[in-house]
């Protein structure tokens, strides 16, 4: 077995970087907390299943992560050794430099909402096949969830990817590598107050560039290309424009160079939460009910978001493809009448988002995909009809125009 030792730093620094304690009053030690998040990363990179283990060592010199694994995954473990210290160092820049500047400008937590620093922990860090750029993480990811992907937004992204052929949970985890423009965990209603930390002056610009560059994996078959990136929502699109000088509207794609000599495919997309807000009302998201008058607009958003997910699925499979051609083929596929049943079922299902007692940390979809499909067959695939019932349609085949890659999903 191979062993890789990774110095992490001092208790004082790691307490801030890992937002310790994640849950006030919790009994986990700092070492337990580091282990909690790294265990999720190792799992989502698929390396636990291949025999990787770790422990967190504490001594007078600080904290060390010891990674152990068989030779076939040695190169992956080596990437952690190279990447994890830099990932934490980038976070320390935000903690020690950017946040004090934000506080000095009187922009920190103006409503006393309980903002907390939060790194994008617990996701794939080595084998991921895409980057997703968002605005900021909701506080429930830290407390009480302690899981960056246990939220109605990443779950919706997974369902859209599944509709485009990526159904294996292990594969989905590799598409779910998130970076937030503002590493600030806050309530769902705090976007208006967080935006001034990134626009017009972007206090986190150095942090953003460093994390994107660090996590922008090169394509394994052609290292002049990197994995694709999707920029979700208007605030993230504004940050992207500031960082890289490229303006993109919803479902517009391009290529840029973030790493020298490397082409990165990029797509701008709706924020996945926007569908929920459109379907249920911006002030009543999570009540489990679609607003009938807003359902047609939500249906249009669903199609746009399925197109974006189709682009991501196919560019993640082979980032050397022409991003415009892939986007055009995805649009033709998801606007075709043959896909109306699947669009309808997803609208019915995701439009039923319910927060238990109004708390987004505890969410469900009372209308299953099967029930949505039953409704849609009985209502001519109109998700905005008032009643109906049937059996779930067979999953749509992959778009033929996008199926010409040699990569296995």
Whether residue 55 has pLDDT greater than 50: yes
**Please, which pLDDT band fits residue 387 given cuts at 50, 70 and 90?**
very low
Q: Does residue 346 contact residue 381 with C-beta atoms inside 8 Å?
A: no
Mean pLDDT for 144-160 is 97
Whether residue 19 has pLDDT greater than 80: yes
Distance CA(117)–CA(109), nearest Å, equals 11
- Report the DSSP pairing between strands 131-134 and 116-117: unpaired
Whether residue 391 has pLDDT greater than 90: no
Distance CA(255)–CA(319), nearest Å, equals 10
In this predicted model, what pLDDT tens digit does every residue of 90-126 receive, in sequence order?
999 999 999 999 999 999 999 999 999 999 999 999 9
Q: Which pTM was predicted?
A: 0.93
Distance CA(187)–CA(288), nearest Å, equals 20
Domain definitions of the chain by residue range: 1-84, 105-402
């Amino acid at each position: 077995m191979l062993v890789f030792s990774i110095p992490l730093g001092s208790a004082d620094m790691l307490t801030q970087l890992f937002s310790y304690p994640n849950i006030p009053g919790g009994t986990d030690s700092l070492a337990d907390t580091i282990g909690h998040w790294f265990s999720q990363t190792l799992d989502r990179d698929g390396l636990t299943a291949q025999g990787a283990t770790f422990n967190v060592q504490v001594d007078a010199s600080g904290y060390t992560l010891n990674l152990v694994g068989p030779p076939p995954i040695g190169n992956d473990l080596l990437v952690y050794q190279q990447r994890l210290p830099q990932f934490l160092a980038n976070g320390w820049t935000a903690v020690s430099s950017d946040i004090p500047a934000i506080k000095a400008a009187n922009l920190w937590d103006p409503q006393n909402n309980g903002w907390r620093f939060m790194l994008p922990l617990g996701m794939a860090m080595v084998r991921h096949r895409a980057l997703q750029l968002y605005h900021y993480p909701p506080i429930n990811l830290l407390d009480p969830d302690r899981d960056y992907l246990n939220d109605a937004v990443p779950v919706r992204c997974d369902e859209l990817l599944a509709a485009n052929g990526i159904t294996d949970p292990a594969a989905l985890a590799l598409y779910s590598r998130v970076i937030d423009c503002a590493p600030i965990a806050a309530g769902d209603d705090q976007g208006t107050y967080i935006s001034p930390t990134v626009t017009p002056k972007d206090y986190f610009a150095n942090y953003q560039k460093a994390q994107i560059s660090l996590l922008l994996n090169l394509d394994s078959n052609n290292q002049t290309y990197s994995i694709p990136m999707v920029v979700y929502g208007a605030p993230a699109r504004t940050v992207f424009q500031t960082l890289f000088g490229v303006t993109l509207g919803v479902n517009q794609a391009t290529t840029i160079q973030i790493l020298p000599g490397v082409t990165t495919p990029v797509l701008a997309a709706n924020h996945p939460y926007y569908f929920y807000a459109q379907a249920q009302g911006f002030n009543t998201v999570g009540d489990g009910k679609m607003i009938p008058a807003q359902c047609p607009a939500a249906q249009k958003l669903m199609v746009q978001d399925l197109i974006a997910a189709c682009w991501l699925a196919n560019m993640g499979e082979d980032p050397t493809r022409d991003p415009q051609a892939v986007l055009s083929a995805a649009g033709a596929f998801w606007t075709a009448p043959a896909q109306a049943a699947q669009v309808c079922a997803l609208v019915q299902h995701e439009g039923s988002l319910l927060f238990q007692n109004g708390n987004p940390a505890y969410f469900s979809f009372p209308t299953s995909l099967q029930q949505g499909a039953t409704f849609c067959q009985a209502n001519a695939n109109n998700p905005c009809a008032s009643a109906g019932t049937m059996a779930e349609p067979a999953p749509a085949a992959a778009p033929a125009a996008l199926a010409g890659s040699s990569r296995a999903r």
